[in-house]
Structure 1
Amino acid sequence: MPTATYPEIQDYALRKLRTGLTEKHTYHHLKHTVDVVAQCTAISDLEMVNSAEDLFLLKVGALYHDMGFLFTYQGHEAKSCEIADTDLTLFKFTDRQKEVIFNLIKATQVPQKPQTQLEEIICDADLDYLGRSDFYVIGEGLYQEFLWQGIVKNERDWNQVQIKFLENHCYFTASSKKRREEQKQVYLAQIKKKVAPWEHLF
């Protein structure tokens, strides 16, 4: 069994994010990781995950899923696994436990392709905001981050990216489909309506 409790691991991981991420990480920041952990817990409850160890590994996976952003933007999932490997070895996680966590981290890579219930949960938790009331607030942070990285050049680019992403995205768990899908479709329609008057100009 690990030599540290979950609160101890959480403090250790969040301290790394708090001190290591820059102000330019306006989406992939500390608050995002904390939110993903919270949503993993909420969705697990709704999906009736009864195993204490499963929930423990899921939450640790959520803590580390974006840790790679401390060092790289592209391919951050692989770096997240490297960091997790070092830390979890320190905390005496078993090889089996580490493998579960590595797979949880890798499952969040877009396009998401979860293979287990826990992987479905972390995928839905990671993008829970797509069907929430804070969609536009959180999205603005991602827009600013994409501008910084040169992924988009302006708001029109951003809206096109959002439309494509929302059209291709799907929730995996029954609870997330029930709670988030309908509102996500509302946002998709709103963005399409916003873009429509400009389409004939390009």
Structure 2
Amino acid sequence: MRSTVALLARQAALLVAPLIRAVPWPPLLAASALAVAGMLPALLGAAVPAASVWGLRIAALLLGAGASFAMVDPMAPVTITATPRWLRQWLRFTLVVVPAALVWGALCLAAASTFPAAPVPGLVGEALVCALGGPAGAAVASRAVAAPAAALAGLAFQGALLVMTLFVPSRWSPWALPGTPSWAVVHLAWWAAVPVLVAVLFAANREVR
């Protein structure tokens, strides 16, 4: 067991540099730029609390969409490697999710002064679901289609989830604002959705047989 873990650690270390070169960074860079631009009023102290909250929600969706493109390995069907697929996929995921999380976290901290209360845990739950939806959808599609277009499935999945929330009665809308009576209840649902998306990622990142 210990030798297997050590072998996987060595393989992961050797894969990091090639994957950094292989991952398509422009979508994530563009998403980060748009996220920052959308939060400029809050960063400059000129936004109302609702605008800051919605800016963070949109930023999470954008960053998740940008990260989706990293989950597709165009060479997977024609390249035989000594490393398992799940290791390569999780490394791809980590390489883009860590900087995306840092960008969103920095925006959240910068805008925190505009919040009327302290809704950060709830906003984190929202951001995790909004951001993980893109990579999860792309990871599922990449099992069948190893082409960059498969990343669009992540965007489509995000869009489908967003449209579904529009049909929820306004009293229980997941897009409640801090301080409203339904805030605590709807954010239990947000946090409950996080392990579901993580499970989808685990299932999608398995070997393709």
- TM-score between both structures, scaled by the size of structure 2: 0.27
User: Between Structure 1 and Structure 2, whose CA radius of gyration is higher?
Assistant: 2
If asked which structure has higher relative contact order (CA below 8 Å, sep 6+), I would say 2
